[in-house]
Amino acid sequence: MSQIKEFISNAKPLNESIEYYYEIFTKEEVNIRTRWSAPYYLALYSQKKDNYLENIGFVFQQVSLYMQSIGIGNCWVGLGSIKGKNPDFVILMAFGKSEKMTRDLSDFKRKKLSEICDFDDERLKPAQLAPSAINSQPWHFRHAEDGFDVFQVKQNILKRQVLKKWNPIDVGIALAHLYVSNKDTFEFKIKNVDDIKGYKYIGSIKI
């Protein structure tokens, strides 16, 4: 626990001006709809400012990858909540010691690189492998002058009901994968870029 707390306090935010915090609960202390065997839950909270969902995804996906690297299995839990009310509550992440930490690449069901970008670019592989709510993979990248413009897929009206809170978190998660694989060069900026048909502009990155 102390290693995890230490890591969280040093994780990089996407937007430094958004305050966020967390609590750690046991299984009995949270509401979860499906059966989970994980013993612990990170409850994530944030100040509600522009891009706060992308920021939570970005910060805590770094934590997810770190936990994975020290043998702690984990999963984002959209279908769960804290007991009691806190308007800052965003989402839970389940975690606990896991027996099997490795996984074949062939087990990942993901869109092709050409579907998540204007043209194939191997540098986007870490984003391609990112987890997302109901595996919706809502990220889309377009080559720009010195990096990529990042977009979020606009879902149809039915899917939007379910995914509207989670898809921005998913985009933050994919950006965390690009940050972790390009630690020294990664930069995120919001520029004056228009939405394109079917996609909402989120920001621009250098990797």
Ligand X SMILES: Cc1cc2nc3c(=O)[nH]c(=O)nc-3n(C[C@H](O)[C@H](O)[C@H](O)COP(=O)(O)O)c2cc1C
43, 116, 133, 178: which one binds ligand X (CB under 6 A): 133
Q: What is the dihedral of CA 44, 45, 48, 54, to 10 degrees?
A: -20
Question: Is 134 among the residues that bind ligand X (CB under 6 A)?
Answer: yes
- Residue 90 or residue 117: which is nearer to ligand X going by CB? 90
Neighbours of 98 (CB within 10 A): 14
Three-class SS of residue 201?
strand
Three-state DSSP at 175 gives helix
Nearest-angstrom CA–CA distance, 74 and 4: 12
User: According to CB under 6 A, which one of 58, 139, 148, 166 is a site residue for ligand X?
Assistant: 166
Task: Give DSSP secondary structure letters for 86-99.
Answer: -TTEEEEEEEEE-S
Using rule CB under 6 A, residue 141 touches ligand X: no
Per CB under 6 A, the list member of 31, 79, 185, 187 interacting with ligand X is: 79
- Nearer to ligand X by Cβ, of 147 and 153: the residue is 153
CB of 197 to ligand X, least distance (A): 25
155 DSSP 8-state letter: P
Binding ligand X (rule: CB under 6 A), the pick from 14, 41, 46, 170 is 170
Residues 22-51 that bind ligand X (CB under 6 A): 34
- Asked whether 151 and 140 are in contact (CB, 8 A), the reply is yes
Choice from 62, 74, 128, 132 touching ligand X (CB under 6 A): 132
Distance CA 159, CA 191 (A): 28
Rounded least distance, CB 171 to ligand X, Å:
10
- The region of 81-89, 115-123, 162-170, 180-188 touching ligand X under the rule CB under 6 A is 162-170
Nearest residue to ligand X, using CB? 131
Does 77 sit near ligand X (CB under 6 A)?
yes
Q: Which of 187, 180, 122, 191 is nearest to 151 (CA)?
A: 191
- In terms of Cα–Cα distance, which of 92, 89, 98, 61 is closest to 79? 92
Residue ranges binding ligand X (CB under 6 A): 34, 75-79, 108, 131-135, 166, 169-170, 173
